[in-house]
Structure 1
Amino acid sequence: MDLFQFCRELPKVELHAHLNGSLSKSTMLLLKRLNADSGIKDETNTFMDEFVMGAGDTRSLSENPENLIISRLIISINRTMVTAECDAITDLAIEYHKKYPDIVVGIELSGNPIVGEFQNFLPALTRARDAGLKVSLHCGEVRNPKEVLDMINFKPERLGHGVCIHPKFGGTQETWQALCNSLIPVELCLTSNVNTKSVSGYESHHFKELYEAGIPVIINTDDKGVFATSLSQEYMLCAETFHLEKEQIARLALSACQYIFDTECRDTVKTKVLEFMNKHYICSY
């Protein structure tokens, strides 16, 4: 089996995908049309058919009755929000987590990294965490060592991107040591970081530094519609760029399962990955 087919068939978990950035151009045009025709019930299933397996593979959801995609929601607080908006989003996240704990599982902070102060969002994030929601923070997208340290010290369940943490990428020895000590898993988005010029190219991506230091890393798409990528493609790019064997790629997928916020979902996906590894005689450790 070649690398492309292997990455395509490997069960994978996407932990960093913004819904508004994951729509294809054709889906957005369709939604625009449906909005223009509001009041007319859509029974065509075209919305479902547009989304494909593996965050970009070639099979549609309607062709897969075996529940091969399992989805959970993380509610986003945008850094541009004022306190009232932030509180309102947090209230909704808590309300719907209580109503649907198996659907709404977390809250995250994202948006323009040069807007807003992390400390201003701490009350809302703390309130959400106290209510049982897991926390993910977009961290180190630009050079800001103080904020990176504050975010790591908050001890979120996951960090997003994590570019400017290692000294080589605009972080400091203090921020790097803090991450190494915390072992907080980092959601990496290779194509996104290359396209947004956060890194100069795939070969210079900080995956290498984090992976070799033993920091838990998860491969993601970020915005698969915007960046015209898929989760399978991101795994393949990672393998080709950093010369990873199929066994290492499979173990990355298995490791990612540990950081799914929903426990039941975590066990289900882990079982699927292990079954794939056993089928292909890949040791899980």
Structure 2
Amino acid sequence: MDSDTFFLELPKVELHAHLNGSLSQATMLQLKRFHADSGLEDKTNAFFDEFQIGAGDTRNLTDCFQVFNIAHSLTSTPEALTIATRLTLQEFQDDGCCYLELRSTPKETPHMTKVQYIETLVKAIQKSSLHLTMITRLIVSINRKSSIAEAEEIAKLAVEYYKKHPDVIVGIELSGDPMAGTFQSFVPALTQARNAGLKTDDKGVFSTSLSQEYQICVKTFSLTSSQTARLALNACQYVFADNVRKTLNDKLLNFIGKHSL
């Protein structure tokens, strides 16, 4: 088996994927077409000249968050959010991902409330699970730029929908620009969610994939195929969805045994 095939077929566990940070350029193009067909205003033309990234190029933190802003503007309706989620989940599975913890912050836009946002995500994940073999779970994010009141609102929503859909929602997190806000300010909201049972804790931004990230890791640390497979196996210990941990573990062990690793 050549190295590209090995990295693609290796069952991979992705524990940190922000939806809007994982939108590929192909997905963004589809979303731009959707905006055009729907008559929605599109202010994202800068993406295709200023923010495309090629092999060997780099991005600073400011560039990264600008790409997030562009992605946010393309997922401002329930329909666009559904398209983005569906395409992104398919891309992760096509890349050999067997378990994905997707993260996203419920947002209020001119076309959708925070409630509609989280409902749309849950429904899109549930519908995708009917034809994908990859297991997907959702972690609700609080943006560091949020006010305390908004953080508490999102925490309450996370708890409410965790109780309704424990098979989909598994955690809550604080994310966003590390230069914004202070962690201590959000502790009460996170504690509220944790007490309710939630766990507390991108490929699009850098035009990469999980398989490519594994290849970089192998090259950087001179890992063997056996070490790489066991690195993927170790990731199973850290999934928030306790009820699928054994399934993932067995899948990796089967791969290791099949290829005598």
Q: TM-score range by the shorter chain?
A: 0.5 to 0.7
Aligned to 2:33: 33
Q: CA deviation at 1:265?
A: 2.2
Normalising to structure 2: TM-score of the pair?
0.65
Any unmatched runs of 5+ in structure 2?
40-77, 98-128
Partners of 1:66 and 1:24 in 2: CA distance: 21
Aligned to 1:130: 195
Partners of 1:96 and 1:65 in 2: CA distance: 20
Aligned partner of residue 244 in structure 1, secondary structure: coil
Does the 8 A contact of 1:80 with 1:116 survive in 2? yes
CA shift in 2, pair 1:264/1:238, >3 Å = same
Does the 8 A contact of 1:55 with 1:224 survive in 2? no
Aligned partner of residue 141 in structure 2, secondary structure: strand
Any unmatched runs of 5+ in structure 1?
137-222
Does the 8 A contact of 2:138 with 2:171 survive in 1? yes
Please tell me the root mean square deviation across aligned C-alpha atoms, in Å. Answer: 2.8
CA shift in 2, pair 1:255/1:66, >3 Å = farther
Aligned partner of residue 268 in structure 1, secondary structure: helix
Q: CA deviation at 1:50?
A: 6.5
Partners of 2:151 and 2:158 in 1: CA distance: 11
Partners of 2:96 and 2:232 in 1: CA distance: 20
Aligned partner of residue 158 in structure 2, secondary structure: helix
Match of 2:135 among 59, 65, 70: 70
Does the 8 A contact of 1:15 with 1:260 survive in 2? yes
Which residues of 2 match residues 121-270 of structure 1 at below 5 A? 121-136=186-201, 223-270=202-249
Match of 1:57 among 78, 83, 95: 95
Normalising to structure 1: TM-score of the pair?
0.60
Deviations 1:222-260 (A, max 9, x none): x11121111111111100111011111111110100111
Partners of 1:112 and 1:28 in 2: CA distance: 22
Partners of 1:55 and 1:120 in 2: CA distance: 37
Deviations 1:20-67 (A, max 9, x none): 11111232232243345459x98xx976467545466399xxxx9873
Give the number of aligned pairs.
189
* Greater share of helix: 2
Amino acid at match of 1:118: F
Amino acid at match of 1:30: Q
Identical positions, percent: 56
Aligned to 2:2: 2
